[in-house]
């Protein structure tokens, strides 16, 4: 290569000082080059040090972090060459480089924007730091920038606060701020992770366009191989602070040489392929629903101002569907679609406003869930259980694993047979018996999720609502937990209502798919039909927006794509 | 960094196994131990409590005993050295002489006479806690005269003795007041948080209302209503109840907000979905999760009640002699001339400051340790 | 926004009404009534009072009517004529006794609040930025001490220091002798302020210490927020980052607790005034309580409470003006 890199990271090592003075190495000997005008994807799971590398380049490391050795050279080989890792973080030199040489877009636009300053105040500030212009001129430039990031009505939006904008719009505003100093390098640190998949597609497209218009160099940090495959020219894969592999996107995705990268890709590709063709299974049981939902409405009142009628928010708005015995029905939707409320309503964790839910356990009962009192609900609870999304919030930190798993059994069955049930369920969920005397803080996310599964299954339920059960986990752990869930389904004859926003998980495990939009059911059918030949427009858009971990199917390279 | 990055992975060595198997209270204790100020606070507080509990034995003199030969006498600080050289800790004897300025007869130390400080000195018989007959005190002077470590007041009463007896009374007012606050706060706050809706609304508005009245003037007004004919003991109970009645609002708010945030925690929802009864949810989830915060609130409520009692009694609306509290002792120190001539009569205030500081340090340390599951250092 | 102002105004009046009822109830608590108290004080002064006289007085003062009627009568007097009742000790309307004194108390409280914030905000911010530095430790320690020292003690120390050490008499007076009986003028106001800062500092000690702690803690939280990092990331100089972003948020709890802060000051004010013998409502309140002169005492409690209720109301409005999230109804 003849052109010199614009940024060269050489043997960078960053460590953190822990609470008890122990040293934790976050980045361990990382080296890579960033070429002008390219998008370099840094991919890795949590704890890989990918974000810390970005922070080190910008000298924005937390107080307890130190750069032990290595360089982060900007403009290497030119007269402007400067090693940012040696600059004091608050120095003039470091400050003047930020926003001008290197800008950054963060994961959480809501948290990255000041809640009490207008969007305009923050953009104009950034503009006037880097350019000697008047307030009025800066405001004009800001409106221009907002137009460039495709915020509609920029004259109005500029005077709004972050909380008045939607998630996607906030991220666009963040991008506008990052562009204010006309930077040579943009670090995008998981910029779309907090967004819905359709919004993500728009933001990715915007980033791609801006990058090619300005011929800007971009470091795109993400845990999502799909996004990286769609956007990056070259890829650095990281694991536990070290670089595993560097190469062009094609090399890395098609012929990874490093075993970690291979595992990672295998996990992603595995997720993207259906494991079982279950469609016949579902058809077979179509006349034997375990749960029948008719015209379900769940509404919340939103308190408004004084003397005003409280608003009603219709989280679930007239949904009817059957869940067949033994199937996995995936309930798909973006944030605010009402999928979680639906899941909680059928278990009466939330009381539905109206509609019918009938539960048909295998003992032949017909149980009216909506009409049941709390006491009547009690005997049926053991057959209807739930697995939660957040493995940290869903286990009481004050109880031992034994007590956590035993809690439902004790409440619904008693002490009789508890030991045997515990023994069996922990074996099935691959929980080491030694764990039982420990507290949740001893475990990682994946391990905790298995504890949560054991708790849900100890009373041998027939219907299990999995509410984003693997969304909080890293992709390799996701694969493990999903495999466990499917094995358990096979062995125990479980029926799953699997609530998720992740289309590859849907493809992987579901027999049938139901799509929710704003509380309404827009499409339901076999996984094959919905995923491969969607009928509804929204479903089509949703599917089109999913970035595939395949550099051969790039969405953003040739102009705009049809994602609406 | 995301949550999972700081998440400890299961390690198999003994030290980490101990951490893995540590209950909430053990984790809180480990964290608390590292809070240096809080440990100091705990130490000072236990020393003060020891003084108060064993006041009868530790105090060199009886609390109402008047040393007419040593009225407004300055503190006798034990020495080990004077112009006659070193020796066993002693204080100088006293002699009468004429003040060179005012020409009045005064008592002054006699540098030629040494009275040795002895441990377990023989004393007049007294009853420890009203039951145990004893004839020895922790400290005394070899010749049987009285040791006034912090001097005497205008009636010749020993300031140190009275201070530690007052400490006992003041701490008991604090404990009782905090207990009343605790019961009311837990009950009312718990009710508001658990029931929610209009009950919650009504209770919260009532609390805001009560909280908007300036505390001390309200206390003073209520205390002024306590009939003058009541005995000192009756007044003691009345004032304690008053202090407790007005202190519960803060605790009620804390309990309520904690319960509301807990109610929607996933693990509480999971328990509900598992058919766990309300009572068990309260006992197994809500109480263990709130207890540490309640302890923090209670610890931090102490200073307010102690300072309240002190201020009330100082102004003469609080406890009444012969009951001695720290505030009652300070009431006699209101006169600026007394303070100017014998500043040691103000020394009970040191105990007030020590109690308040100790409770504040302790409370801060407990607050930092109360949630051992947060990432905060 | 307008709806909120209306709602807050209404609820402020409701609060005041309920508090006045509570206060009236307190006034009526001591055994015996006003007429008996007057009779007692007159007979002590050697003016015999017959039972008929007492009866007449009771009727004139509506003392035979039920509690609720008397309350309405009292409130009506306040609202229509500004009549808060009679002080039996001084045998004059309460209003005549407290007029100027209330003004002085209000001035003292506002001045104290002002001094409290002038000191607490910069010190708290500084202490947070230089966390774990020597000045931070000193400030933290002084803060603890400030909260632990009862303010009457501070007042005594001050009194001791000025009379005994410096030999100045009359720290409690709020005017220099030449202004004592002068008519109000600019010079007199300045003179007043020059005298008031001493009691203001004594009174504001605990509030300042508390304020520093609150600001320091909020700043420490806010300094770690992403929006601060984001501001640094766009090249904003450090000093500007601090003062534009986290400080702005750290002021929120300061503003929202302004009313409570005022309440705490109002709580301590009478005690400090009693010790320093300031010519404000403190000593008057003290004497009224000693005499069980309940109309006077009740009126003073009502006055202090009203100050804090109005203070809370103003702090709510100020917060809404200051924080767009509250103004736009996103956060309560």
pLDDT in tens, A282-331: 555 567 889 999 999 999 887 655 555 667 888 999 999 999 998 999 99
Quick one: A290 and A367 in the same domain? yes
Residue from A115, A176, A183, A219 whose CB has the most chain C CBs within 10 Å, to mutate: A115
- Quote the pLDDT of residue B1: 33
Lowest mean pLDDT among A131-135, A214-218, C73-77: C73-77
Of B375 and B260, more confident: B260
Per-residue tokens: A260: 């970690």
Average pLDDT, chain A: 89
Mean pLDDT of all residues in B61-84: 76
- Quote the pLDDT of residue B298: 85
Residue A434 pLDDT exceeds 80 = yes
Of B64 and B189, more confident: B189
Q: Please name the member of C229, C248, C324 whose beta carbon is closest to the beta carbon of A60.
A: C229
Q: Please name the member of B3, B24, B377 whose beta carbon is closest to the beta carbon of A19.
A: B377
Lowest mean pLDDT among A18-22, A275-279, B351-355, C217-221: A275-279
Query: Cα–Cα distances in Å, from C123 out to C116, C117, C135, C211, C255?
Result: 11, 10, 10, 9, 17
pLDDT in tens, B90-141: 777 777 777 777 777 677 777 777 777 777 777 777 777 777 777 777 777 7
Residue C100 pLDDT exceeds 80 = no
Q: B377: burial class by Cβ within 10 Å (0-12, 13-18, 19+)?
A: exposed
| DSSP run (H or E) holding C48 | none
The edge-to-edge listing of strands for the beta sheet with A311-324 is: A311-324, A289-302, A354-359, A367-368
- Quote the pLDDT of residue A209: 92
β-pair type (A367-368, A311-324): unpaired
Q: Give B311's contacts (C-beta < 8 A, 6+ positions apart).
A: B216, B318, B327, C150, C152, C271
- Quote the pLDDT of residue A229: 92
Residue A182 pLDDT exceeds 60 = yes
- Quote the pLDDT of residue A286: 63
- Quote the pLDDT of residue A564: 41
Q: Please name the member of A60, A96, A115 whose beta carbon is closest to the beta carbon of C325.
A: A115
- Is A473 among the domain residues? yes
Task: Name the CATH topology of B162-370.
Answer: MetI-like fold (1.10.3720)
β-pair type (A39-43, A23-34): unpaired
Q: From CA C180, how far away is CA C128, in angstroms rounded?
A: 45
Half-sphere exposure of B39 (CA within 13 A, CB side): 8
Nearest CA in chain B to C226: B1
Nearest CA of chain C to the CA of B226: how many Å? 8
What's the CATH number for C94-327? 1.10.3720.10
Q: Please name the member of B10, B271, B289 whose beta carbon is closest to the beta carbon of A447.
A: B10
Lowest mean pLDDT among A194-203, A269-278, C283-292: A269-278
- Dihedral pair phi/psi, residue C257, rounded to 5°: -100, 10
- Quote the pLDDT of residue C272: 87
Could you tell me if A15 and A45 are in contact, meaning their C-beta atoms sit under 8 angstroms apart?
A: no
- Quote the pLDDT of residue A244: 94
pLDDT band at B5 (very low <50, low <70, confident <90, very high): very low
Query: Which of helix, strand or coil describes residue A238?
Result: strand
Q: From CA A513, how far away is CA A497, in angstroms rounded?
A: 10
Nearest CA of chain A to the CA of C131: how many Å? 11
Query: Cα–Cα distances in Å, from C202 out to A50, A482, B113, B304, C246?
Result: 54, 66, 45, 18, 30
Of C100, C121, C155, nearest to C261 by C-alpha is C121
Q: Count of domains in chain A?
A: 2
pLDDT in tens, A454-476: 999 999 999 999 999 998 888 88
Q: Which residue has the tokens 């102690």?
A: B306
- Quote the pLDDT of residue B130: 76
- Is A34 among the domain residues? no
Quick one: A374 and A453 in the same domain? no
pLDDT in tens, B246-268: 778 888 988 888 888 888 889 99
Rg of chain C over all Cα atoms, to the nearest angstrom? 24
Asked if B340's CB is within 8 angstroms of C301's CB, the reply is no
Of A422 and C296, more confident: A422
Per-residue tokens: A525: 């059918």
Mean pLDDT of all residues in C45-62: 73
Quick one: A290 and A358 in the same domain? yes
Asked if B221's CB is within 8 angstroms of C160's CB, the reply is no
Identify the bridge partners of residue A217 per DSSP, sorted by sequence position.
A185
- Is A471 among the domain residues? yes
Query: Cα–Cα distances in Å, from C285 out to C34, C154, C269, C298, C311?
Result: 18, 20, 11, 9, 21
Nearest CA of chain B to the CA of C49: how many Å? 24
Q: A415: burial class by Cβ within 10 Å (0-12, 13-18, 19+)?
A: exposed
pLDDT band at A120 (very low <50, low <70, confident <90, very high): very high
Lowest mean pLDDT among B34-38, B100-104, C303-307: B100-104
Of A139, A233, A134, A216, nearest to A178 by C-alpha is A216
User: What does the CA dihedral B218, C258, B359, B313 come to, rounded to 10 degrees?
Assistant: -20
Query: Which of helix, strand or coil describes residue B130?
Result: coil
What letter does residue B344 receive in the DSSP assignment? G
Could you tell me if C288 and C89 are in contact, meaning their C-beta atoms sit under 8 angstroms apart?
A: yes
Q: From CA A305, how far away is CA C13, in angstroms rounded?
A: 19
Residue A178 pLDDT exceeds 90 = yes
- Quote the pLDDT of residue C1: 66
Q: From CA A494, how far away is CA A497, in angstroms rounded?
A: 10
- Quote the pLDDT of residue A216: 94
Start-to-end C-alpha separation, chain A: 39
- Quote the pLDDT of residue A563: 46
User: Considering only CB atoms, which chain A residues are within 8 Å of C224?
Assistant: 62
Residue C31 pLDDT exceeds 60 = yes
pLDDT in tens, C65-84: 777 887 887 788 777 777 77
Residue B377 pLDDT exceeds 50 = no
pLDDT band at A232 (very low <50, low <70, confident <90, very high): very high
| DSSP run (H or E) holding A326 | none
The CATH number linked to A480 is 3.40.50.300
Of C149, C124, C107, C102, nearest to C254 by C-alpha is C124
Lowest mean pLDDT among A12-16, A344-348, B235-239: B235-239
Q: Which residue has the tokens 């995923």?
A: A531
Q: Which residue has the tokens 């990031």?
A: A149
Mean pLDDT of all residues in A207-233: 93
Residue A161 pLDDT exceeds 90 = yes
- Quote the pLDDT of residue A177: 95
Mean pLDDT of all residues in A188-197: 91
pLDDT in tens, A41-73: 999 988 888 989 999 999 988 888 889 999 999
Quick one: A324 and A428 in the same domain? no
Q: From CA C93, how far away is CA C86, in angstroms rounded?
A: 4
Other Cβ atoms within 10 Å of B349 Cβ, number? 23
User: Considering only CB atoms, which chain B residues are within 8 Å of A395?
Assistant: 267
Decide which of A425, A442, A460 is a domain's last residue.
A460
Per-residue tokens: C220: 């420490």
Quick one: A473 and A421 in the same domain? no
Nearest CA of chain A to the CA of C243: how many Å? 13
- Quote the pLDDT of residue A322: 93
Query: Which of helix, strand or coil describes residue B124?
Result: strand
Of B190, B168, B187, B169, nearest to B179 by C-alpha is B187
- Quote the pLDDT of residue A249: 93
Neighbouring chains of C at 3+ CB pairs under 8 Å are: A, B
Asked if C308's CB is within 8 angstroms of B217's CB, the reply is no
Q: Please name the member of B5, B8, B267 whose beta carbon is closest to the beta carbon of A442.
A: B8
Of B102 and C143, more confident: C143
Per-residue tokens: B38: 């809080």
- Quote the pLDDT of residue C69: 80
What letter does residue A437 receive in the DSSP assignment? G
Q: Which of A529-538, B16-25, C153-162 has the highest mean pLDDT?
A: A529-538
Mean pLDDT of all residues in A130-146: 94
What letter does residue A83 receive in the DSSP assignment? E
Per-residue tokens: C264: 């705490």
Lowest mean pLDDT among A179-188, C53-62, C122-131, C198-207: C53-62
Per-residue tokens: A7: 């940024």
Q: Please name the member of A58, A62, A113 whose beta carbon is closest to the beta carbon of C227.
A: A113
Distance of CA C302 to the CA centre of its chain: 11
Residue A561 pLDDT exceeds 60 = no
Q: C72 at the A interface (CB within 8 A)? A: no
Could you tell me if A522 and A284 are in contact, meaning their C-beta atoms sit under 8 angstroms apart?
A: no
What does A355-402 look like in DSSP terms, one character per residue? Answer: EEEEE--TTS--EETTT--HHHHHHHHTTEEEE-S-TTTSS-TTS-HH
- Quote the pLDDT of residue A275: 67
Residue A113 pLDDT exceeds 90 = yes
Q: Whole domain around residue A411: which residue ranges?
A: 392-460
Q: A88: burial class by Cβ within 10 Å (0-12, 13-18, 19+)?
A: exposed
User: Considering only CB atoms, which chain B residues are within 8 Å of A390?
Assistant: 266
- Quote the pLDDT of residue A175: 95
pLDDT band at B9 (very low <50, low <70, confident <90, very high): very low
Q: From CA C75, how far away is CA C69, in angstroms rounded?
A: 10
Q: From CA A281, how far away is CA A237, in angstroms rounded?
A: 40
Asked if B336's CB is within 8 angstroms of C156's CB, the reply is yes
Residue B3 pLDDT exceeds 50 = no
Q: Which residue has the tokens 């001097």?
A: B151
Nearest CA in chain A to C249: A116
Question: Burial letters for C44-55: b for 16+ Cβ neighbours within 10 Å, e otherwise?
Answer: eeeeebeeeebe
Lowest mean pLDDT among A80-89, B49-58, B297-306, C184-193: C184-193
Handedness of CA A132, A135, A138, A140 (dihedral sign): negative
Asked if A19's CB is within 8 angstroms of B274's CB, the reply is no
Residue B7 pLDDT exceeds 60 = no
- Quote the pLDDT of residue B111: 73
- Dihedral pair phi/psi, residue C93, rounded to 5°: -60, 140
- Is A163 among the domain residues? no
- Quote the pLDDT of residue B374: 67
């Amino acid at each position: 290569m003849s052109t010199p890199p614009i940024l060269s990271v050489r043997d960078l090592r960053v460590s953190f000082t822990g609470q008890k003075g122990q040293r934790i190495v976050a980045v361990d000997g990382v080296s890579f080059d960033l070429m002008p005008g390219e998008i370099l994807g840094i991919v890795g799971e949590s704890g890989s040090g990918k974000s810390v590398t970005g922070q080190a380049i910008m000298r924005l490391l937390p107080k307890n972090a130190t750069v032990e050795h290595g360089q982060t050279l900007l403009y290497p080989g030119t007269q402007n060459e400067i090693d940012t890792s040696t600059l004091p973080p608050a120095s003039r030199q470091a400050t003047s480089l930020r926003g001008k040489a290197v800008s950054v877009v963060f994961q959480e636009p809501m948290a990255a924007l000041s809640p009490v300053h207008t969007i305009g105040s923050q953009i104009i500030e950034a503009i006037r730091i880097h350019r000697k212009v008047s307030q009025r001129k800066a405001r004009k430039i800001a409106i221009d920038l907002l137009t460039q990031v495709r915020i509609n009505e920029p004259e109005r939006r500029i005077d709004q606060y972050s909380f008045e904008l939607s998630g996607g719009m906030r991220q666009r505003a963040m991008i506008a701020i990052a562009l204010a100093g006309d930077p040579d390098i943009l670090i995008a640190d998981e910029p779309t992770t907090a967004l819905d998949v359709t919004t993500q597609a728009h933001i990715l497209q915007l980033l791609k366009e801006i990058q090619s218009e300005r011929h800007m160099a971009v470091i795109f940090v993400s845990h999502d191989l799909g996004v990286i495959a769609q956007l990056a020219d070259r890829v650095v894969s990281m694991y536990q602070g070290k670089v595993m592999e560097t190469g062009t996107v094609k090399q890395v995705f098609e012929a990874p040489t490093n075993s970690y990268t291979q595992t990672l890709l295998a996990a992603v590709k595995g997720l993207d392929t259906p494991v079982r063709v279950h469609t016949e299974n579902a058809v077979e049981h179509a006349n034997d629903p375990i749960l029948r939902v008719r015209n379900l409405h769940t509404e919340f009142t939103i308190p408004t101002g004084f003397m005003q009628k409280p608003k009603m928010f219709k989280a679930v708005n007239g949904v009817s569907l059957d869940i067949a015995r033994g199937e996995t029905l995936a309930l798909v939707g973006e944030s605010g679609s009402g999928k979680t409320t639906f899941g909680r309503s059928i278990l009466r964790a939330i009381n539905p406003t109206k509609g019918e839910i009938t539960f048909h356990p295998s003992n032949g009962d017909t149980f009216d869930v909506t009409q049941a009192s709390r006491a009547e609900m009690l005997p049926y609870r053991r057959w209807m259980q739930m697995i939660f999304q957040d493995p940290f919030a869903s286990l009481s930190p004050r109880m031992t694993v034994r007590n956590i798993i035993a809690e439902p059994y004790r409440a619904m069955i008693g002490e009789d047979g508890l030991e045997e049930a515990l023994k069996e369920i922990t074996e099935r969920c691959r929980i080491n018996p030694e764990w039982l005397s420990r507290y949740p803080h001893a475990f990682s996310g994946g391990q905790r999720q298995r504890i949560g599964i054991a708790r849900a299954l100890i009373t041998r339920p027939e219907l299990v609502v999995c509410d984003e059960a693997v969304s909080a986990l890293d992709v390799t752990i996701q694969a493990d937990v999903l495999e466990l869930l499917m094995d358990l389904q096979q062995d125990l004859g479980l029926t799953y209502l699997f609530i998720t926003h992740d289309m590859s998980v849907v493809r992987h495990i579901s027999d049938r798919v139901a799509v929710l939009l704003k509380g309404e059911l827009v499409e339901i059918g076999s996984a094959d039909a919905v995923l491969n030949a969607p009928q509804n427009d929204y479903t089509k858009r949703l599917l089109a927006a999913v970035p595939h971990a395949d550099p051969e199917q790039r969405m953003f390279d040739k102009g705009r794509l049809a994602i609406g | 960094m995301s949550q999972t990055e700081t998440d400890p992975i299961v390690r198999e060595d003994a030290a980490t196994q101990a951490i893995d198997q540590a209950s909430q209270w053990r984790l809180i204790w480990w964290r608390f131990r590292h809070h240096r100020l809080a440990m100091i606070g705990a130490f000072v507080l236990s020393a003060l409590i020891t003084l108060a509990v064993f006041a009868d034995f530790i105090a060199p003199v009886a609390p109402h005993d008047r040393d007419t030969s040593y009225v407004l006498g300055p503190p006798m600080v034990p020495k080990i050295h004077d112009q006659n050289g070193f020796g066993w800790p002693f204080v100088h004897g006293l002699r009468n002489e004429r003040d060179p300025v005012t020409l009045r007869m005064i008592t002054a130390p006699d540098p030629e006479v040494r009275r040795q400080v002895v441990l377990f000195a023989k004393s007049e018989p007294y009853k420890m806690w009203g039951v145990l007959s004893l004839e020895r005190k922790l400290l005394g002077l070899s010749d049987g005269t009285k040791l006034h470590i912090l001097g005497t007041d205008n009636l010749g009463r020993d300031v140190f003795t009275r201070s530690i007896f007052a400490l006992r009374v003041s701490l008991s007012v604090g404990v009782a007041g905090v207990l009343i606050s605790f019961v009311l706060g837990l009950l009312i706050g718990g009710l508001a948080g658990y029931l929610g809706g209009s009950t919650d609304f009504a209770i919260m508005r009532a609390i805001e209302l009560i909280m908007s009245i300036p505390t001390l003037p309200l206390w003073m007004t209520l205390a002024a209503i306590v009939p003058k004919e009541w005995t000192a003991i009756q007044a003691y109970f009345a004032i304690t109840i008053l202090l407790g009645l007005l202190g519960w609002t803060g605790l009620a708010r804390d309990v309520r907000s904690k319960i509301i945030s807990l109610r929607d925690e996933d693990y509480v929802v999971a328990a509900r979905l598992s058919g766990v009864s309300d009572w068990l949810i309260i006992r197994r989830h809500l109480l263990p999760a709130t207890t540490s915060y309640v302890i923090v609130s209670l610890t931090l409520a102490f200073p307010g009640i102690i300072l309240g009692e002190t201020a009330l009694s100082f102004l003469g609306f609080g406890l009444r002699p012969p009951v001695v509290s720290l505030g009652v002792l300070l009431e006699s120190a209101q006169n600026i001339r007394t303070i100017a001539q014998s500043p040691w009569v103000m020394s009970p205030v040191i105990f007030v400051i020590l109690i308040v500081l100790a409770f504040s340090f302790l409370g801060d340390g407990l607050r930092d340790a109360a949630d051992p599951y947060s990432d905060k250092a | 926004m307008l709806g909120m102002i209306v709602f807050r105004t209404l609820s402020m009046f409701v609060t005041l009404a309920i508090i006045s009822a509570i206060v009236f109830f307190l006034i009526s608590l001591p055994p015996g009534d006003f007429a008996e108290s007057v009779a007692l004080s007159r007979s002590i002064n050697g003016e015999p009072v017959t039972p008929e006289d007492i009866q007449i007085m009771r009727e004139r003062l509506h003392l035979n009517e039920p509690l609720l009627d008397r309350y309405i009568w009292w409130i009506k007097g306040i609202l229509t004529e500004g009549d808060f009742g009679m002080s039996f000790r001084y045998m004059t309307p309460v209003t005549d006794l407290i007029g100027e004194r209330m003004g002085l108390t209000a001035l003292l409280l506002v001045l104290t609040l002002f001094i409290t914030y002038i000191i607490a905000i910069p010190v708290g911010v500084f202490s947070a930025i230089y966390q774990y530095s020597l000045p931070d430790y000193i400030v933290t320690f002084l803060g603890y001490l400030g909260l632990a020292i009862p303010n009457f003690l501070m007042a005594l120390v001050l009194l001791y220091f000025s009379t005994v050490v410096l030999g100045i008499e009359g720290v409690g007076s709020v005017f220099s002798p030449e202004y004592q009986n002068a008519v109000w003028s600019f010079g007199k106001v300045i003179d007043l302020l020059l005298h008031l800062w001493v009691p203001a500092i004594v009174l504001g000690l605990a509030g300042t210490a508390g304020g520093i702690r609150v600001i320091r803690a909020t700043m420490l939280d806010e300094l770690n927020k992403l929006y601060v990092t984001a501001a640094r990331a766009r090249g904003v100089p450090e000093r500007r980052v601090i003062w534009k972003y986290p400080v702005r948020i750290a002021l929120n709890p300061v503003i929202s607790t302004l009313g409570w802060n005022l309440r705490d000051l109002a709580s301590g004010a009478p005690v400090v005034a009693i010790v320093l013998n300031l010519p404000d409502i403190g000593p008057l309140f003290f004497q009224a309580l000693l005499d069980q002169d309940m109309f006077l005492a009740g009126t003073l409690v009502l006055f202090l409470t009203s100050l804090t209720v109005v203070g809370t109301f103003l702090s709510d409005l100020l917060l809404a003006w200051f924080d767009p999230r509250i103004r736009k109804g996103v956060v309560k």
